[in-house]
Amino acid sequence: MFKHLQTGNALKTVIFFTIIFYLGKILDPYNQGQLSVVLMYFVGILSITFLTGLSGQISLGQGALMAVGGYTCALVVLNLGLNYWQSIIIAVLASLVAGWILGITAARLSGPYLAGTTLVIALAIPSLANRFESVFGGDVGLSVDFGNPPEWLSSAVGEIGYEQWQLFATLPFASIALYLALNLFKSRTGRSWRAVRDHEIAASLTGVNVQRIKIFTFVVASGFAGLAGALYGLRGIVGPSVYPISLSLALLTGAVLGGLRSIGGAFIGAVLVVFLPDLIEAISGSWELAPQISNYLPAMVAGILLILTVVLNPAGVAGGLHHHKSRHK
Amino acid sequence: MGKKSVDLMLKIENLVTEYGAVRALDGVSFTAAEGKITTVIGANGAGKSTLLRTISGLENSKSGQIVWADKSLIGKAPESIVRSGIAHVPEGHAVIPQLTVAENIEMGSLFRRRNFRSDVKLAMEEVCELFPRLAERSKQLAGTLSGGERQMLAISRALVSRPKLLLLDEPSLGLAPLVVEQIIQTVNDLCRKSGLTVLLVEQNANTALAVADYGVLLSLGKVVANLPAAELKADASLRAAYLGY
Amino acid sequence: MEQFLTAVFAGTASGSIYALVALGLVLVWRGAGVINFAQMGQAMFSTYVASTLIMNGYSYWIAFFVALAVGTALGTAIDLLVMRPLSGKRGSAILASPAMRATVPVIASLGILGILQSAAGMIWAAEERGFPAPVSTLGLSFGGEIMPFTAFDLFVIGIVLVTLIITTIFFQKTGMGLAMRASALNPEVARLSGIRTSSVRTLSWAISGAASSLAGLLVTPSANLSPNTLDLILIIGFTATVIGGLDSLPGGVIGGFILGLVISFVNVYSSPSDIFLAILALLLIVLLVRPQGILGSKEVRRV
């Protein structure tokens, strides 16, 4: 039965890969770039899906973990000369370690104490960049990128544009992340996370080691965040301005809007966060609004959506669809 | 001898309260006569506490009717039920340990301050006379009181709102017999002197039936017997079947 | 020595502002069980209103009190329009776990913050506003020497102390204060005593709104006002409540002053980029030794 599950997940991943690849071939450069940002947010939001959605712990500092991934990747590329595949793997490992450290501290805290600590961490880590300017490049940051597309790909697919290559380079990692996420979700680990989320005391009575589960969740979530951070950084620059506090909040927003408890929700959330400003501009562009209004319109709409979601449909878009489906069976 | 304008009776009709799939109250009906002590007894889990909690508004009933002073209490919030003259002393002598004795009592009188300022003062004095031990400790934190004192405090808080109906949930829980005796006697005296209607939930059927006028025996959410207390007390078969002695 | 004094006075002055922010946060936490991340958004918005009034010729004090009124109104609105509907929602499965029930209002407050910030941007085009101080912001002279603090610093500390005294009297000596304390400690017993806990909750939001506007007004002469300038102050204020104990008003105040001094000393003796590392270190030390905060009570640690 387990094998059957895995095949199902592999199939879903392949379909995902194919669809995005196809979109990468037919979309215009701007939207190719947007799509690669969607993939990056998708992986980042997955960290929140696991941490908050499945395990019920709140973190306002996932952006900081993304920074860890991004900086590690950049440092490895620049100082050790490794290619981006190797650097990303090392970056993820570094994030796992960071997540472990974070988890040990955080697992003893709950609710607002956890939120507060992660918030301060989200600010402290980027400030390290200014503290050790020579290593981290201070405010300016470090430049890295995916390099040029490999020969075999361009000969197979034809000429590859800059944004297109960003997308194609990001896609395999996003797909791997998806596959891992799908497996984790249905696994026994996933079930014990849900148990801890819903009833900590009951879970501990059934022999679940609550502390260990919480730490493990942080580790896993950090891995996803670190991967997202590395992918984000490889778009060109790794610096404090790339991982501001608003990034952590954007991840949380996307997770809630799309649906905190499902992988599909994470993807929908990523799409919403990335394409909402474009969508709003498309609608309001013809209204001839003053620049001060149009500048802030996306943020305003996002805020309103967030509140409406939380008050009317806390399970997000994915949750709402699921509910609708099961009611009309 | 004027005619009473409002009928101060508590009428419960077919009350059903559910906790998820469990029916804690499964069609309970009875009347609590005005100015009398009606005791609700039964084994653990019979639904006694749920009954009081439903009357006072802490729990929502699924169906049925609760009528007090000719008005329905269904769907009303606890705060407004208190304002219609019902005071509920929940089980576990519910006081707030971080507040002082005086503050705990004062809590019960807050909602009356605007309209009955002078009476509030009077009520607080009366309560201090009723439980002099509390008056001695009035500036102490409620958390430092003994179990019996806390129960007295909880009752004081209820009394200071000048209720017409007092809901008492297991006042004897965890207390020494002597203290229980004291408390029950005080409540009994109060009822006889001021015409307060009392609905007393008790695990200890003997103690309750000794002072009560009427007894309602609950089992698994249903009323098994509704009799004058003396008859209930005398009925050995009922006692054996439902109270285990 | 001069450096030390500067650090102490600057730290006390900024600490008093963090204390105010902490006060507002603890009020809403105790009264409503929510961490209000929108608090400084309310402050920013009301300060913008005040600044507009001043630009149109009104006196400082009129603008001051209007700002307090706006802050109070915003707080009340947030409770009535968002938080009450939120707490009424019991049907959704996602709210079944206690962790989620705590998280959701936080997310809502983040949404409100976003709305307030974008609204300010839309109305005032994110103009950086200057904001006057009612007293001198130059170093005071004392016996011929210029001291390392200003009349304005004294003004700020004074107002915060007055606010603290007023709030303490309110909570300890008035009926409404008792009702608020009771509702926060045990809502069930409070309701059974006839206290309208939902109205009390709204009052907590209202008072907290006033406190946060006050913080915004007092901090802006030394920092330019724009939709985002107050974000950092919220984070520091929040850290102050965590350090001091989330459910303790005096704890939040103490935490505020401690943080103010720590930040000031780091600023003077080290470099500004160390500030958040210092805050993080302080936070971790406190939470390691006393997870409920300095004056917090043990039961509140778990959500």
Residue C134: which residues within 8 A CB-CB, separation 6 or more?
A: C60, C61, C155
Average pLDDT, chain A: 82
Least confident of A13-27, A30-44, A156-170, C194-208: A156-170
Give me the pLDDT at residue A292, please: 74
Q: Quick one: what percent of chain A has pLDDT higher than 70?
A: 94
Q: How far B232 CA sits from the closest chain C CA (Å)? A: 31
pTM score, whole prediction? 0.84
Q: What is the average pLDDT across B110-130?
A: 85
Say if residue A207 is exposed, middle or buried (CB neighbours under 10 Å; 0-12, 13-18, 19+). exposed
Flag whether C91 is in a domain.
no
Contacts with C92 from chain A: Cβ below 8 Å: 313-315, 319
Does residue C95 lie within any of the structural domains? no
Q: Is the ipTM of this complex over 0.85?
A: yes
What was the pLDDT predicted at C33? Answer: 81
Give φ, ψ of A234 to 5 degrees: -70, -5
Q: Alpha carbon B121 to chain centroid distance?
A: 23
* pLDDT score of C301: 34
Residue A189 pLDDT: 74
Highest-pLDDT range among A9-13, A293-297, B56-60, B237-241: B56-60
Q: Is the pLDDT of residue B239 over 80?
A: no
Question: pLDDT at residue C99 above 70?
Answer: no
Look at chain C and report how many structural domains it folds into.
1
Strands B22-32 and B71-72, by their bridges, are: unpaired
Residues 6 or more apart whose CB falls under 8 angstroms from that of C54 comprise C60, C63, C131, C132
Judge: C194–B161 Cβ closer than 8 Å, yes or no: yes
| Nearest CA among A117, B212, B81, A42 for reference residue C241 | A117
Tell me the pLDDT tens digit for each residue of C210-231: 998 998 888 877 667 777 777 7
Nearest to C189 by CA among B172, B112, A201, B169: B169
Residue of C276, C282, C297 to mutate for A, most A C-beta atoms under 10 A: C276
Can you give the length of chain A in residues?
329
C103 vs A261: CA distance, rounded Å:
14
Count the Cβ atoms, other than its own, within 10 Å of residue B244: 8
CB-CB under 8 Å, B108 with C193: yes
- Minimal CA separation from C184 to chain B, in Å: 10
Which residues is B88 bridged to in the sheet? Answer: B167
Asked if residue A329 has pLDDT above 60, the reply is no
Q: How far apart are CA A277 and CA C170, in angstroms?
A: 47
Identify the residue whose tokens are 């002597």. Answer: B178
The whole-number pLDDT of residue C8 equals: 86
Contact A111 C291 (CB under 8 A): no
Scanning every residue of chain B, which has its alpha carbon at the shortest distance from the alpha carbon of C196? B79
pLDDT digits (tens, 9 = 90+) for B12-67: 999 999 887 888 898 899 999 888 999 998 888 788 899 999 999 998 889 999 99
Burial readout C170-199 (b: 16 or more C-beta within 10 A, e: otherwise): eeeeebeebbbbbbbbbbbbbbbbbbbbbe
Q: Please, what is the Cα angle at A182 between A178 and A183, to 5 degrees?
A: 120
Give the residue from chain C lying closest to B157, CA to CA.
Answer: C193
Q: What is the pLDDT of residue A224?
A: 94
| Chain A residues touching C99 at Cβ < 8 A | 56-58, 110-111, 197
**Distance separating alpha carbons of residues C67 and C55, to the nearest angstrom:** 14
Q: Do B94 and C186 touch (CB under 8 A)?
A: yes
Q: How confident is the model at residue C302 (pLDDT cuts 50, 70, 90)?
A: very low
Position of tokens 């500004």?
C272
* C254 CA: distance to closest CA in chain B (Å): 21
Average pLDDT over residues A11-19: 87
Determine the distance in angstroms separating the CA of C113 from the nearest CA of chain A, rounded to an integer.
8
Structure tokens at A134: 């020579």
All chains having 3 or more CB pairs closer than 8 angstroms to chain B: C
Q: Which pLDDT band, with edges at 50, 70 and 90, does B2 fall under?
A: very low
Query: Is the pLDDT at C142 greater than 70, yes or no?
Result: no
Cα separation, C129 vs C219, in Å, equals 13
pLDDT in tens, C171-189: 889 989 999 999 988 889 9
Categorize the per-residue pLDDT at B224 as very low, low, confident or very high, splitting at 50, 70 and 90.
confident
CB contact under 8 A, C186 and B107: no
Nearest residue in chain B measured CA to CA from C189: B94
A24-76 pLDDT, tens digit each:
888 888 888 889 899 999 999 999 998 888 877 888 888 889 998 999 888 88
Mean pLDDT of C196-209: 92
pLDDT of residue A2: 52
Band the pLDDT of C303: cuts 50, 70, 90.
very low
Res. C255 pLDDT band, cuts 50 70 90: very high
Both structure tokens of C235: 């984070």
pLDDT value of position C300: 41
The predicted pLDDT at position B100 comes to 93
Calculate the average pLDDT of chain C. Answer: 83
Average pLDDT, chain B: 87
Between CA A162 and CA A170 the distance in angstroms is 13
Q: What is the CATH number of domain B10-238?
A: 3.40.50.300
Q: Give the CATH number, domain containing residue C149.
A: 1.10.3470
pLDDT at A221 (0 to 100):
93
Q: Parallel, antiparallel, or unpaired: how do β-strands B86-89 and B165-169 relate?
A: parallel
Q: Is the pLDDT reported for residue C145 higher than 70?
A: no
Are residues B96 and C189, on separate chains, in Cβ contact within 8 Å?
yes
What does chain B come to in residues?
245
C98 is a domain residue: no
Over the Cα atoms of chain B, what is R_g?
A: 18
Hey, is the C-beta of A236 within 8 angstroms of any chain C C-beta? no
Q: How far apart are CA A303 and CA A16, in angstroms?
A: 30
Whole-number percent of chain B with pLDDT over 90: 41
Residue whose C-alpha is closest to residue C245's, from C233, C256, C235 = C256
- Burial label for C209, CB within 10 Å (0-12, 13-18, 19+), is buried
pLDDT for residue A1 is more than 50: no
B27 and B15 Cβ atoms separated by less than 8 Å: yes
**Portion 167-206 of A in contact with C at CB < 8 A:** 197-199
Q: Which two tokens stand for residue A225?
A: 């965040």
Maximum Cα interatomic distance, chain C, rounded to a whole number of Å? 70
Q: What is the pLDDT of residue A239?
A: 81
Q: What pLDDT score does C192 carry?
A: 94
- Minimal Cα–Cα distance from C139 to chain A, Å? 31
